[in-house]
Amino acid sequence: MNTPVVLSYFSQSHDPHDPYLEFLEDEYRCIADCWEKFQQTGSERNINVVFPARGSADAGRIDDDIRAFKHRVIIFHFSGHAGAEQLIFSDKSARAKGLAGLLGEAPNLKIVFLNGCATHDQVNLLFSQNVKAVIATKGRVNDGLAKEFSSNFYAAVSTTDYTIKEAFKHAINTLIKDGLIPEDTSTNLSPWRGLVTDSAEEKDRWDLYVKEGFSAELENKNWWKIGVINPSKKEVLTGGNFWDRIHVVLFSALFLLGIAIIAFGIFFKDDFKIAVMGLASICISAFGMINQRRYVTAEFNEELVDESIIKKLRLF
């Protein structure tokens, strides 16, 4: 399988009127420790992920990271000041609609965790971009409590013992146990069909929303695993370096030339030998495009650790 990537951003506000979040740095350290345990212990109980250091991030890092890790991102996390239409970074605000569009580019993204105030109204936008699950808030959340909730969630979900749903319940029950949130706080999934948003605010309230039809994925013990990454047709045609694109152009031209030769041989010369030459040109073109797909697939799977699959991806 490929090594998955967890993108987590922690940022103070660029607006001097917003209060300073005292527990933000502690939250980053706690979550980083959770995801770095595999590197520290090598234990199969801990999930092996790439966790880029984003302890003090600006909004521009998101664009770069999505491009760099597009196919391997499994979690997107944000901690900081937020609202119904934005996440607030140290340099500027990230608009929710654009962010949802960027996250929609990550086909293996399993969950988005928006650990800021009043992020509930962003769920519709995220689900419209094929995000499958979102942890969001309906109102204001206490800084220290936000740190406790996310730390407990990641302490569980970063191990192979918990599903996403179980980790969410674990985090909620831990806060209930410590008397930090009401005992009647729900740990159930919130199926979401979109269209209508609930504007009622509740302080220190997190909900796990799941897009209709994807509840089973939150109960999968192997939720974090990424198999072979298969490029789309567009990525095959446009991926790679300059010479790869030249090859695509040449193979396409060879295909069109083959069709022209077949038509010329059959309809103008009545000579099937010429038509066979055209057929050969098409076959060479098809072989070249298949090999191009294998090459791009191999590039997309640089982090693949299954040697038997790697052999199948090697070029002729």
Give the integer Cα–Cα distance in Å for 280 and 188: 61
Exposed, middle or buried: residue 316 (CB in 10 Å: 0-12, 13-18, 19+)? exposed
Give the integer Cα–Cα distance in Å for 103 and 314: 30
Give the pLDDT band (50/70/90) at residue 316.
very low
Give yes or no for a contact between 178 and 157, defined as CB atoms under 8 angstroms apart.
no
**Entry pTM:** 0.81
- pLDDT of 197 higher than 50: no
- pLDDT of 67 higher than 70: yes
For the chain, give the mean pLDDT. Answer: 88
Q: What is the pLDDT of residue 166?
A: 98
- pLDDT of 303 higher than 70: no
Calculate Rg over the CA atoms of the chain: 24
* Helix orientation angle between 24-35 and 143-157, rounded to the nearest 10 degrees: 0
Run of H or E including 299? helix 272-300
Grouping H, G, I as helix, E, B as strand and the rest as coil, residue 277 is helix
Give residue-wise pLDDT tens across range 143-168: 999 999 999 999 999 999 999 999 99
Q: What is the pLDDT of residue 193?
A: 41
Give the pLDDT band (50/70/90) at residue 304.
low
- pLDDT of 295 higher than 80: no
Provide, for the chain, the percentages of residues in helix, strand and coil under a 3-state DSSP scheme, each rounded to the nearest 5: 45, 15, 40
Give residue-wise pLDDT tens across range 83-112: 889 999 989 999 999 999 999 999 999 999
Q: 127: closest CA among 188, 212, 38?
A: 212
Give the pLDDT band (50/70/90) at residue 196.
very low
The percent of residues in the chain predicted with pLDDT above 90, rounded, is 63
Q: What residues have CB less than 8 Å from 279, skipping those under 6 apart?
A: 258, 262
Give the integer Cα–Cα distance in Å for 315 and 211: 39
Beta strands in the chain (DSSP E): 5-11, 73-80, 86-88, 93-95, 111-115, 133-137, 189-192, 206-211
| Strands of the 189-192 sheet, one edge to the other | 5-11, 73-80, 111-115, 133-137, 206-211, 189-192
- pLDDT of 116 higher than 60: yes
* Centroid of chain to Cα 4: 9
Read off the tokens for 157: 């979900």
Give yes or no for a contact between 299 and 240, defined as CB atoms under 8 angstroms apart.
yes
Give the pLDDT band (50/70/90) at residue 247.
confident
N- to C-terminal Cα separation, the chain: 22
Give yes or no for a contact between 129 and 100, defined as CB atoms under 8 angstroms apart.
yes
Other beta carbons within 10 Å of 259 = 14
What would the 3-class secondary structure string for 79-106 be? EECECCCEEECCCCEEEHHHHHHHHCCC
User: Per residue in 174-185, is it b (16+ CB within 10 Å) or e — as a string?
Assistant: bbeeeeebeeeb
Read off the tokens for 265: 């041989």
- pLDDT of 199 higher than 60: no
Mean pLDDT along residues 3-12? 96
Q: What residues have CB less than 8 Å from 286, skipping those under 6 apart?
A: 255
- pLDDT of 55 higher than 70: yes
